Each structure stands twice: as C-alpha cells, then as structure tokens.
Amino acid sequence: MCGRFVITSAPAALRQLFGYIEQPNFPPRYNVAPTQPIPVVLVENGARHFRLMRWGLLPSWVRDPKGFTLLINARSETVLEKPAFKKAIRRRRGLIPADGYYEWKSIDGRKQPFFIHRADGEPLGFAAVFETWIGPNGEELDTVAIVTAAAGEDLAALHDRVPVTISPRDFERWLDIRGDEVDGVLPLMMAPRIGEFAWHPVSTRVNRVVNDDEQLLLPISAEDMEAEAEAAKPKKAVRKVAAASDDGQGSLF
C-alpha cells in the first residue's frame, strides 16, 4: 500500500536524475495524497517527458467516475490480469519521482505513521501505470496508479505491501514500451532489497492532508507519541451537578 508520499528534491536535481525534457519548477511537497495532481515521467516519441496526472487511475472504459473505486495502487501479482491495468502495464508505464512515503502501523490499537525513505537519502522512482480517461463531452483526464509488491522481511514490520521502486539503471528498461511484451519488466516489480530503506515514526499531523510542511518528516520521540495517543483518546463527558445555594435553588456557579 502507498497512500501518501513526499517530493522534496530540487526540481533541477529530479530533472537530471530522470532525464525529461521539460523544466518544471514546483515547490516541495510533504504530504501528497490521492486525487491530487502528481508528476509522472513517461516516454513519448523516443524522449522522456514530465506530466502531471491525477493520482487514482481511471480506466478508459469507465463511464461514470463517481461510481468507480479510486485505484491508487496496482498489485504487481495481478497487474497483468486485472482489466483496469492489463493494457496500461504493457503500453503506459511511467515513473513517479519521490523522496519517500508514509505508512501506518497498528500499535496498541492506534495507527502510528512512519516516514520511509532510501537509507542513502537519494530520490527514488515509483513504478507506475497510467491511463487517459475521456469523458462523455470529450474531456480528457490523465490518471495514474503506483505499482506495489509484497513487502520484504524488513519493511513487512510496518506493512505487508510496499511501492515498487525502480533503480535509475533500470529507468530506460521500465519506460521502454516499444514492444507489447512485459517479460523484461516483470523482474523489476519486486520489493526493495533488505536494508535499502530506512524509516522512523513521525507525528500524526500527517494524517490530515491539509498539513503539508517539513515538520512532518521529523522523527517523533516515544514521549511525544504517547502524548499524541493520549490527546487522540475520546474525552468522557463530565456530568455537572448543581451546587446547593442558601435558598435551596440550584446554581450554575
């Protein structure tokens, strides 16, 4: 599962890493959420390009988006079979630049968020598939989903699914859609190697999409975790009993 991620690297650094033609200038994002526009790198006419797409794939055959489930992830095990993804994985593969993502782990009955990133601090590219949905009035909407795989032994301590990340040496291989075969990219759709990623707990402020600042990435102490958990507990209603006054009437003061 990948439901929130982070893009903090400078635009110029990402352009150099992913090699797209455009020169977009965008601010860092610390809490990217589904349905928001996100950057996608793809190949068109033999060159890499930068496009903004809505996070949440809509297959071309969907008539009414309002009644269709939001597809933010595509499972690597079934991406070749599922009607929503089986054409996209062959003809419309992309990369999503990122610097890490969030995952939530159940601890003592509550969900504790963690920030997960490459241990070496370098940016990463999520494997993605995309589709262009065309509405009844001819409107077009580019949409995308992140490919996920079963978590490895280390990351499984947080969640049983992880986003598939493509190494820079395999960018060209993943983005190459000149043929209709996918055998060459199947080995890429797997969990990161053990030790490749690191993580730490962060504040539950990340739970709210409106919070989008660098403080979200800071490690949180055990004491602060307990304080947040205590603050999140529902408060018990206290019944006020009227005090007796000299004249026997109830008083609010």
- Supply the residues annotated as catalytic: 2, 103
> Alpha-carbon distance 58 to 175, whole Å?
20
* Residue 57, beta-bridge partner list: 71
Q: What are residue 39's phi and psi, to 5 degrees? A: -75, 140
> Alpha-carbon distance 30 to 99, whole Å?
9
**Burial zone of 59 (CB within 10 Å; 0-12 exposed, 13-18 middle, 19+ buried):** middle
Phi-psi group of 158: left, alpha or beta (phi > 0 → left; psi -120 to 50 → alpha; rest → beta): alpha
